Amino acid sequence: MSCGIFNDVPVLDLDYPEDSAAQVDANFVMASGGRLIEIQGTGEQRTFSREEFNQLIDLAIKGTDELFAAQRVALKL
């Protein structure tokens, strides 16, 4: 799940214009239930705080939960 900070605002699933201009870029690979597999985060244009990192991981959990739910519906699970 792609997250980042764009114009000082944490954003879920950045599109290309946001991603290319993001101040902070982070990617999370997660299993269901918010279990972490891999984290990659980079301060592209500035440093970021622990609070901002927590906001990004919260967005990633929200996004993956929504994605897993849509997959379960599509697969009729």
Question: Which tens digit of pLDDT belongs to each residue from 12-66?
Answer: 999 999 999 999 999 999 998 889 999 999 999 999 999 999 999 999 999 999 9
* Helix (H/G/I), strand (E/B), else coil: 6: strand
> Is the pTM value of this prediction over 0.85?
yes
Token pair recorded at residue 9:
């605002």
* Helix (H/G/I), strand (E/B), else coil: 67: helix
Full 3-state SS string of 24-60: EEEEEEEEHHHEEEEEEEEECCCCCCHHHHHHHHHHH
Which structural domain range is residue 46 located in? 2-74
What's the confidence (pLDDT) of residue 22? 97
What's the confidence (pLDDT) of residue 34? 85
Residue 59 CA to residue 28 CA, distance in Å, equals 10
Residue by residue, DSSP assigns 9-29 as: EEEES--HHHHHH-SEEEEEE
